[in-house]
């Protein structure tokens, strides 16, 4: 669970206001389960609004070399305009949240954008972006889920970039099949390209849930983040093949999943904590969720988390 969830409270179905989303993120960062929280996700066009809303929550930047540097908020930015313009806005944001030169903390930030997420239609657009992105920004590229995944994988392999899959949405037809998710995980694992997921992973295990928080919301069978990330880790560590990955992704039985300090087990397939750490660091990175409470509360209800 360490840094597994990128907080996307601005996006559906939560769709919080900027002040409320920032306040919620700040509260979770100070909470008991802060270890599970990673970045705040914001569209580049909303950066100025984010900067204004977050100012009172951020730590003070050091004014002398004797002052300890702060623990920065880490931010993932969705590219939502011309790439070059967005990169300039990101550079301005990072500079404005960095300690002044000559204070002994030239690289100390109280907030820093270190990740970008870019929707792409073809490997050519990936190449265009990679040629322009600075080294300090790690990109995740969201490609069409039913496109030429192997072409994208070949383009991304060894390039210091990741792949992103959309695993749900506010309509049932936005949820990809287990076969599509399994193909995505398998293809990018084979290419040694890190992955992240977004949307539809509020809950640990595959099950039927309302698609929004509105009363009377339609329901659908949604992917579980434990299914996705444990399945990815098992595949990464050669514990299962693609056919069994489909089984992991499809499993709705809590009894199939067992956890201890030393290992996780799915139907007799054992993966050690050290192996999970390797998979999380190198392959199955994180997922975006508009709620941090839902994943934590469901894990507690299942008895997986205190």
Q: Is the dihedral of CA 44, 50, 51, 57 positive or negative?
A: negative
The stretch 143-157 carries a mean pLDDT of 91
The reported pLDDT for the residue numbered 106 is: 57
**8 A C-beta contact, residue 230 and residue 241:** no
Q: Which structure tokens are listed for 14?
A: 């939560």
* Domains and their CATH numbers in the chain: 5-302 (3.20.20)
Burial of 268 (0-12, 13-18, 19+ CB in 10 A): exposed
Q: 144 versus 42: which is more confidently predicted?
A: 42
Nearest CA-CA partner of 94 in 78, 74, 80: 74
Distance separating the N- and C-terminal Cα atoms of the chain: 13
Query: What is the pLDDT at residue 105?
Result: 53
What value does the mean pLDDT of the chain take?
Answer: 94
Question: Among residues of the chain, what percentage have pLDDT more than 90?
Answer: 90
**pLDDT score recorded for residue 99:** 81
Residue 147, pLDDT > 80, answer no
Whether the predicted pLDDT of 54 surpasses 90: yes
Q: Where are the beta strands (DSSP E) in 147-205?
A: 162-166, 195-198
What's the CA gap between 131 and 45, in Å, rounded? 22
Report the length, in residues, of the chain.
306
pLDDT number for residue 239? 98
Average pLDDT on 169-182 reads 96
pLDDT confidence tier of residue 61, bands split at 50, 70 and 90: confident
The SS3 call for residue 125 is: helix
Tell me: the pLDDT tens digits for 84-136?
A: 999 999 999 999 999 874 455 557 889 999 999 999 999 999 999 999 999 99
Q: Which of 55, 287, 284 is nearest to 295 (CA)?
A: 287
What backbone phi and psi angles, to 5 degrees, belong to 284?
-90, 90
Best CA proximity match to 80, nearest among 167, 171, 142: 142
CA distance 91 to 105: 18
Cis peptide before 13 (omega within 30 of 0): yes
Backbone phi, then psi, for 82, in 5-degree steps?
Answer: -60, 130
């Amino acid at each position: 669970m360490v840094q597994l969830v990128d907080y996307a409270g601005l996006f559906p179905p939560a769709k919080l206001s900027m002040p409320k989303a920032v306040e919620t993120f700040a509260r979770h960062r100070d909470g008991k389960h802060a270890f599970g929280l990673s970045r705040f996700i914001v569209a580049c066009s909303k950066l100025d609004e984010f900067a204004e809303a977050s100012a009172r929550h951020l730590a003070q930047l050091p004014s002398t070399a004797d002052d300890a540097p702060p623990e920065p908020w880490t931010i993932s930015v969705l590219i939502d305009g011309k790439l070059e313009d967005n990169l300039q806005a990101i550079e301005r944001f990072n500079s404005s949240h960095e300690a002044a030169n000559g204070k002994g903390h030239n690289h100390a930030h109280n907030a820093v954008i270190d990740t970008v997420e870019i929707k792409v239609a073809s490997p050519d657009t990936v190449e265009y972006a990679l040629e322009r992105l600075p080294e300090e920004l790690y990109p995740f590229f969201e490609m069409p889920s039913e496109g030429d995944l192997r072409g994208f994988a070949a383009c991304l392999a060894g390039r210091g970039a990741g792949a992103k899959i959309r695993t749900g949405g506010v309509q049932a037809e936005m949820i990809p099949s287990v076969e599509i998710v399994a193909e995505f995980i398998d293809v990018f694992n084979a290419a040694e390209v890190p992955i992240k997921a977004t949307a539809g992973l509020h809950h640990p295990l595959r099950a039927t849930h309302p698609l929004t928080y509105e009363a009377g919301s339609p329901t659908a069978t949604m992917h579980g983040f434990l299914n996705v990330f444990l399945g990815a880790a098992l595949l990464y560590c050669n514990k299962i093949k693609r056919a069994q990955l489909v089984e992991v992704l499809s499993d709705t039985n809590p009894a199939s999943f067992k956890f201890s300090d030393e290992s996780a087990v799915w139907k007799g397939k054992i993966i050690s904590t050290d192996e999970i750490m390797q998979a999380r660091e190198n392959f199955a990175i994180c997922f975006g969720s508009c709620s941090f409470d839902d994943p934590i509360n469901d894990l507690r209800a299942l008895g997986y988390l205190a």
